[in-house]
Structure 1
Amino acid sequence: MQTINERFRGCLIGGAIGDALGWPVEFLRLDEIKRKYGTQGITNLVKGRSNLVEITDDTQMTIFTAEGLLRAENRGRNKGIAHIPSVVHRSYLRWLNTQGVGNDVEKDGWIHSIKALHTRRAPGNTCLDALISGRMGTMEEPLNNSKGCGGVMRTAPIGLVFKKEEAFKLGCESAAITHGHPSGYLSAGALSYIIAAIIEGINLEIAVEQALEECKKYPSNQECSTLIEKAITLVKSDKPVIQAIESLGEGWVGEEALAISIYSALKYQDDFEKAVFTAVNHNGDSDSTGAITGNILGAYLGINGIPQNWVSDVELSKELSQLADDLVKTYEDSEEWHQKYPGW
């Protein structure tokens, strides 16, 4: 049995590892990946120009999602009220500031002070444009019609903190801050639900099936639901892995990224390495599908189910461990905590 701390650490660090594994091949076609890394594709973490095994904007924004949740809890406890999506939105504005875009958001808390986060790793244009707009998107009043995977790739921490149905709704709301198409935010809700179900001790297949049923309760769910169903069916088929993933898409949009990740995680649910190899070696958005798969299986297998050399090598591993442990606590009435996660 995994402890709760091991599952939380596994989720955040597993996501960072999948992100880092896919980052060097994000914009390569599969044949290009094989030419560069061999017939099996990329199978190990690669150091980038900074001589680090680099994370991307996927993990950066996941970190700021977690920060927003902890700030919202602090605010709710001390001020009696906290609209969680609004607090998360302000955390995303802090991320925007780390990307070199000036704004008047509070620059306090320990996350913004992590120097390594103040670097651009191919941030998504939709996220940048939506946050620069000065408005906060919602499901009811969307900023755009984007269903890019920039919403789903950052919402795993919501499933660590909230129960399943609440996690689904809040995952949707957090993604809708920047992505207005239903498939852009329902995929995020589904991921948050899957993580929450795993934390509750539910079997992975059942967690996915329950998330699918929850998704079907929301308007305009057909596109997302259909692709989740297809991923489940493909796992049970004898279709070759590469062809199965190709039939699910390339992962640039939310429902495809989620479906590829669900397929990879279910196909190799007892083998973190095989699952993330599968998730990144394809024609599409390899770092996002790697990150989401890593979030799911990291939560499922726990930190001890991930190769320890990967855990120690990935960028910001220590900080992610600390953040995971803080998410387990959720709140601490101490001056140090108030400095780390100010409830503005």
Structure 2
Amino acid sequence: MTTPAAAVWGRAEQQDFRARVRGCLLGGAVGDALGAGIAALSLDEIRAAHGPDGAADLVPAYGRRGAVTAATQLTLFTVDGLIRAQVRRDTGAWHPPTDVHRAHLRWAATQRDWGPDERRKDNGWLAREEWLYTRRDPSRSCLTGLADEVLGTVDKPKNPTARDAGAVVRSAPFGLLVGWEPQLVCQLAVECAAQTHGHPTAYLSAGAFAVIVHGLARGETVDGSVQRALSLLTNRPGHQPVTDALKQALGAVRQGIPSPTRIDALGDPENAEDALAVAVYCTLVGEDVRHGLRLAVNHDGPSHTTGTLCGALLGALHGETALPPAWLAELEGRSTILELADDFAMEMTQGPALHGPAASAPGWLQRYPRG
């Protein structure tokens, strides 16, 4: 499990990488916010409230426009965990699934505490962001899986019957580890998904999603990235529902004009593999980010889930500047997301200059403690 040394990153490569990281994290959050206000509605109810074309703009949720759900919250803590894993690597105690699990436990604290615990000096800066201390419809499996400090594994997963997309929606950051080999990205996403979602279709969907993001963040095509995910899943037990769903998404592209009917034919987005299929389909057929996201949220099913997944894919594919500025302007937590995205990009491209044998930045280690 290696990341590229700073020497291989030219300025243009660093700028492209940062744009894709920002695009992925902001895009996922925008898709989440776009779907949050209609997530509990059927397509008929969405059309009755917003017109025959469905919701075309942000809809108020949780008392405001642009509000995000637990999907974005958890994604941010995944990023935090990956940065902490890289920082801890200097100590020789490098085990990314453990660091991501600790980060998700910090998220779990935001779901039960009134606010940040200033006594916890090892929490880092993200866990001190007060706006995160609110419950935004997390999946039950995430709450129960992170209710104690026991680390679930693929051999002994938490919630072995949980097959919703609660682990998939937090897995885009694994794909941003562009210096890793795709099979390692897949394995890390799978191991971390099993900490809350033990059904094979749930954790393999998380692995597939991470691999697709990984390809897009490297500048590859959507189709090529999906094909790589399919090849990596083939030898894994229980892969068939996931690979079938992805193949169905690819095939649906050739079946005519995109519509909610075609999206409904991809399955029930309450299930991880079907939510992933919807996101892949909408990414492939969307004329631009706005069109793709509108397709991804106007259907029967959890609109915030499919919006999050599609937004992350589109953002990784096109970069931050392709995202609709009017939606970004109202996005809850935008400054936090940007700050974390830039920290991730800096750690992955310039980590040795922040913490290493030749240099040390005390401020960085306060933001991302090794403890």
Q: Deviations over 1:194-223 (max 9, x none)?
A: 111112111121111111111213111001
Matched, 1:242 2:260: yes
Equivalent position to 2:95, from 83, 90, 102: 83
**2:309 — aligned with what?**
292
Matching residue of 2:322: 305
Q: Deviation of residue 240 (structure 1)? A: 5.0
Asked whether the equivalents of residues 105 and 149 of structure 2 are also in contact (C-alpha less than 8 Å), the reply is no
Which residue of structure 1 aligns with residue 71 of structure 2?
Answer: 58
The equivalent residue for 2:50 is 37
1:128 aligns with one of 123, 135, 143: 143
Q: Is the 8 A contact 2:167 2:202 kept in 1?
A: yes
Shift of the alpha carbon at 1:108? 1.6
Q: Which residue of 2 aligns with 1:271?
A: 288
Q: In structure 1, what is the Cα distance between the partners aligned to 2:319 and 2:148?
A: 38
Residues matched between the structures, number: 342
| 1:203 aligns to 2:218 (yes or no) | no
Residues 76-155 of structure 1 aligned to structure 2 (within 5 Å):
76-77=89-90, 79-100=91-112, 108-144=123-159, 145-155=161-171
Counterpart contact for 2:20–2:217, Cα < 8 Å: yes
Contact kept, 8 Å, 1:85 with 1:170, in 2: the verdict is: yes
Partner deviation per Cα, 1:227-258 (whole Å, 9 max, x = no partner): 10000000121265212111112311210110
How far residue 134 of structure 1 moved from its aligned partner, in angstroms, is: 3.5
Look up the SS of the partner of 1:218 in the other structure. Answer: coil
**CA distance, structure 1, for counterparts of residue 306 and residue 259 of structure 2:** 15
Find out whether 1:322 has 2:339 as its counterpart: yes
Distance, in Å, in 2 between the alignment partners of 1:101 and 1:226 is: 41
Instruction: Name the % identity.
Output: 37
Does the alignment pair 1:74 with 2:90? no
C-alpha contact 1:20 1:56 (8 A) present in aligned 2: yes
List runs of 5+ in structure 2 lacking aligned partners.
Answer: 1-11, 356-360
What SS does the aligned partner of 1:58 have?
A: helix
Provide the alpha-carbon RMSD of the alignment: 1.9
**In the alignment, what sits opposite 2:8?**
none
Q: Residues 265 and 275 of structure 1 are in contact (CA less than 8 Å); yes or no, is this contact kept in structure 2?
A: yes
Map Cα deviations across residues 3-46 of structure 1 (whole Å, 9 max, x no partner). 21111100000000000000011111000011111111111113
**Per-residue CA distance 1:235-293 (angstroms, 9 max, x = gap):** 1212652121111123112101101100110111x500111101100110110100000
Give per-residue Cα distances to partners, 1:300-340, cap 9 Å, x unaligned.
01111111122222111111111111111223231111111
Structure 1 equivalent of residue 176 of structure 2 = 160
Counterpart-to-counterpart distance in 1, 2:183 and 2:120: 30
1:152 to 1:49, Cα distance in 2 relative to 1, 3 A: closer
| Distance (Å, rounded) in 2 between the aligned partners of 1:279 and 1:113 | 32
For 1:217 and 1:327, the matched residues in 2 are separated by 32
Q: For the Cα contact (< 8 Å) 1:94–1:105, is it kept in 2?
A: no
What TM-score, normalized to structure 1? 0.95
> Counterpart of 2:23 in structure 1: which amino acid?
G
Distance 1:234-1:66 versus aligned 2 partners, 3 A rule: same
Deviation (angstroms), 1:106: 7.0
| Cα pair 1:252 1:284 within 8 Å, conserved | yes
**Greater gyration radius:** 2
Post-superposition Cα deviations, 1:99-121, rounded to whole Å, max 9, x if no partner, equal 01699987620110011100111
Alignment match of 1:257 (pick from 271, 275, 282)? 275
Alpha-carbon distance between aligned partners in 2 of 1:84 and 1:329, rounded to the nearest angstrom: 18
Shift in Å, 1:156: 0.3
Residue of structure 1 equivalent to 2:297:
280
Name the CA distance, whole Å, in 1 between partners of 2:267 and 2:121.
39
TM-score when normalising by structure 2: 0.88
Runs of 4+ off more than 4 Å: 101-107
Matched letter for residue 192 of structure 2 = S
Do 2:208 and 2:233's aligned partners in 1 also have CA atoms closer than 8 Å?
Answer: yes
